[in-house]
Structure 1
């Protein structure tokens, strides 16, 4: 009967685990809808501000902002890594960190030094373990992007870029495709990619005006003030959208992972109950045989 007791304890343990994973699945499903709404609401702004910033590169040649000027050769770069603060979301963090480590290896082989700004505890943990150069960080981001907290960490990279310490700033995040699919992306934030109007977060949407028209603007009060402010909005918009995309991806991945865990727990419970019934039946049969054998001996 000791075997029966152990199996019963195991069944109870798996049932308790299934209750937890089922609850986490429901919580993630609730948060997922809000995160996806925020992500989709921010996409049009991120796309449009990127388009306008791209148009400015050719519209006003007499003033060239440092954000629009690419260095002849990259000697040092900054990388903003967007990850989650918590685990239990499938391979989401593993996939983005695999891309980051691959690009880090490419930079090192080319003799390019790197400095990192992790946004999220999981990315911070990986970068700390490999001994990466971390110049700023921000963790415990919560369920919605907070621009004031994000820009404080990003400002270190922006200041180094303006001072000439680094030649480019990259962003690594997860792009939300649908509930079942999230893709890691590694995109250049600064300097602005030449001639690219395609959004890094929506590959299907591209400006129809890219090749048809030239662009000219009338600036008030002056070109420098307008362009400077617009490019700061471009950086803020892209960082905000990168975090919003990752948060939507996180909740979707967690819901799918917890659903798979709940389904697996249900299957394990069924298998254990079958073993329990067989073991219990064998024990009862053995006891009956012993009783019958004893009676026949008498």
Structure 2
């Protein structure tokens, strides 16, 4: 009985150690990918903040803006763009995004539709009664602007049809490898994020004419938003995966310690029992 238990425990310990080799490798790969995408995000954040500040100035100090991308419509339907990962093993990264989506939609499913980015969002969406108008999968770990451009083009294509009055993004903002936060960002109609710091008022002259300029800058702004959210989401994914793999390794060590202790106790008990039998046999022969 004890021999069988010892063999079983040795197999379990070996299996956990083999699993740890995989989780350590995945953690190292995630760390490498995080360095690549976070360096790109650092540069993009500066451009994104500057461009958002320019948009805020146009909205605040410009003349009355007559453009559908800046004005609210009477349509109550909403479109949500949900950023998730293509792969799993990244802790609660995807579940947190989907929980945010469900919370925002509430009981208004009939007036909401979704664009999913990533395999996981598509898979989770199919388990609910929510409708998907487009799906984007298998995008690289370090997204390029071309990826954002394809999604932005699809958003404007749908919005221009007048079926939706508002467009929102749900993504995970990256702060550090161990800190990420799921955020909701309104994309369309475009609203200022905060009051410009300059207290002076100015008049804008548009070149080309105002309608064309505002349409062009709207397209470019939404593309930059999507790209920034993409980089934040990918960096958060890799950070979450690193944390998940680190936690898996620590849990593996705890389990191995407990199994090793149990193994030693059974082995010691077997040795003690064997010694007792030897001593008993020797005593019987006297």
TM-score interval, normalised by the smaller of the two chains = over 0.9
**Unaligned stretches of 5+ in structure 2?**
none
Does structure 2 conserve the Cα–Cα contact (< 8 Å) formed by 1:137 and 1:153?
no
Deviates more, 1:89-98 or 1:48-57: 48-57
Describe the superposition over 1:88-130 as per-residue Cα deviations: whole angstroms up to 9, x where unpaired: 111111111111001111534xxx6111100111111111111
Report the counterpart of residue 117 of structure 1 in structure 2.
115
Tell me, in whole angstroms, the C-alpha distance in 2 between the residues paired with 1:277 and 1:159.
Answer: 67
CA contact (8 A) 1:117 1:153 kept: no
Give distance in 2, aligned partners of 1:273 and 1:242: 46
| Structure 1 residues 4 and 267: CA distance shift in structure 2, 3 A | same
2:200 equivalent in structure 1: 213
Which residue of the partner structure matches residue 158 of structure 2?
A: 160
The answer to whether the 8 A contact 1:135-1:156 is kept is no
**Closer, same or farther in 2 for the Cα pair 1:120/1:215, shift >3 Å?**
farther
What is the CA–CA distance in structure 2 between the aligned matches of 1:129 and 1:215, rounded to whole Å? 52
Runs (4+) of structure 1 exceeding 4 A deviation are none
CA RMSD of aligned residues (A): 1.8
**Structure 2 match to 1:65:** 67
The runs of 5 or more residues in structure 1 that have no matched partner are 199-206
TM-score (norm 1): 0.89
C-alpha change, 1:282 and 1:62, in structure 2 (3 Å) is closer
Aligned to 2:270: 283
1:9 aligns with one of 6, 11, 18: 11
- Cross-structure match for 2:78: 77
CA deviations 1:244-297 (Å, max 9, x no partner) are 000111111111111111111112112211111111111111111112212222
Q: Secondary structure, in 3 states, of the residue corresponding to 2:133?
A: coil
Matches within 5 A, 1:92-131: 92-105=93-106, 107-108=108-109, 113-131=111-129
Quick check: 1:83–1:246 contact (8 Å CA) kept in 2?
A: yes
State whether structure 2 residue 198 is matched by structure 1 residue 196. Answer: no
Which residue in the other structure is 2:230 paired with?
Answer: 243
Shift of 1:159: 1.8
Aligned residues: 283
1:252 aligns with 239
Question: CA 1:251/1:258 → structure 2, altered by over 3 Å: closer, same or farther?
Answer: same
TM-score (structure 2 length as normaliser): 0.92
